[in-house]
């Protein structure tokens, strides 16, 4: 406690409160199954998103080129679950689109692999 009786906030606790406020208390948004490797890209310019709350507008600015969910989280310095909630909101409002990475269990097409191998041999 501080000298005047008020509780001092640690950086960690302040971060938790900020995350709660940013998402409106929502902790999950599994509507789209976003994971760390999912790529997102903005459908509008930063100017078109300037009326959005700060964190949303910042994501739109960052995503002018495809970026993974993990990269977005690193740039806006928020926990991954919070980033997923914000991205889901932007997807629902058509500010951002996404594309999931191919599942690791999915084997590549043999024709594609052969074409890559042929291209490497030509080098």
Within a domain: residue 49? Answer: yes
Q: How many CA atoms lie within 13 A of 64 on its CB side?
A: 9
Q: Is 6 within the bounds of a domain?
A: no
pLDDT in tens, 56-79: 999 999 999 999 999 999 998 888
Number of domain units in the chain? 1
pLDDT of residue 114: 84
- Evaluate whether residue 76 is within a structural domain: yes
E strand or H helix that includes residue 41 = strand 39-42
- Domain holding 111, by residue range, is 11-122
pLDDT in tens, 92-113: 999 999 998 766 666 777 888 8
Nearest-CA neighbor of 67 among 99, 94, 106, 33?
99
- Put simply, whether the predicted model's pTM sits higher than 0.75 gets the answer no
């Amino acid at each position: 406690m501080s000298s005047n009786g008020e509780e001092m906030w640690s950086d960690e606790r302040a971060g938790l409160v900020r995350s709660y406020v940013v998402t409106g208390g929502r902790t999950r948004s599994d509507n789209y199954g976003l994971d760390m490797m999912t790529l997102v890209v903005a459908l509008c310019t930063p100017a078109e998103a300037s009326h959005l709350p700060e964190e949303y507008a910042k994501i739109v600015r960052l995503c002018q080129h495809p970026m993974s969910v993990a990269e977005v989280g690193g740039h806006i310095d928020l926990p991954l679950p919070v980033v997923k909630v914000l991205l889901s909101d932007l997807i629902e409002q058509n500010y951002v689109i996404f594309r999931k990475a191919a599942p690791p269990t999915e084997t590549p097409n043999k024709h594609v692999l052969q074409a890559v191998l042929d291209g490497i041999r030509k080098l």
